[in-house]
Structure 1
Amino acid sequence: MTTVLDRITFDPAIMGGRACLRGLRIPVSVIVRQVAHGATVEDVLEGYPDLEREDVQQALEYAAWLTEEQVSGPSTPSRAIPR
């Protein structure tokens, strides 16, 4: 299955080129972190009214792809993950 991530954008002039949603100043990492800490899609959409459900879905899909394709390292974390 191939997923199109057309809502994930990179622009050096926006958030230093970090992965954002649709060219908005909303980094993918912020959305993924909120969901990881228990926010529902509805919570995220309420907090970011410029976003759409598909934005949140693609943010999560992009994060999943990164961990599958890009990240390699020790089998156990060597440091705490900041919250």
Structure 2
Amino acid sequence: MDRITLEPGKRGGRPCIRGLRITVYDVLSMLASGMTHQEILEDFPELTVEDIMAVLAYAADREHQVYSLRVN
């Protein structure tokens, strides 16, 4: 999870990848639209497969946290 960074002045404080201006939401949106990992990496060569996997792990963790709050 150290690949996901939060900086108040960058992209409105949204979670970004390694301090880049690419947000978790950006990558999730690309994946949801059907882009493959390879297509994302071709469009954003500064990203790595590990970055994409970190985005998915971050999203899964956030979903788990939200569910846990609702149950408790």
Task: Give the 3-state SS of the residue equivalent to 2:19 in structure 1.
Answer: coil
Task: Give the 3-state SS of the residue equivalent to 1:31 in structure 2.
Answer: helix
- Matched AA of 2:7: D
CA deviations 1:3-54 (Å, max 9, x no partner) are xx01000001211110000000000001011111211111111111111110
Corresponding residue for residue 21 of structure 2:
25
- Determine if the alignment matches structure 1 residue 39 to structure 2 residue 35: yes
Give 1 or 2 for the bigger CA radius of gyration: 1
Give the C-alpha shift of residue 70 in structure 1. 2.0
Stretches of structure 1 that go unaligned for 5 or more consecutive residues are 74-83
Corresponding residue for residue 56 of structure 1:
52
Stretches of structure 2 that go unaligned for 5 or more consecutive residues are none
**Whole-angstrom distance in 2 between the partners of 1:31 and 1:39:** 9
RCO comparison, higher one (Cα < 8 Å, 6+): 2
Corresponding residue for residue 80 of structure 1:
none
Higher helix fraction (1 or 2): 2
TM-score, with length taken from structure 1 = 0.76
**Whole-angstrom distance in 2 between the partners of 1:66 and 1:14:** 20
- Matched AA of 1:30: D
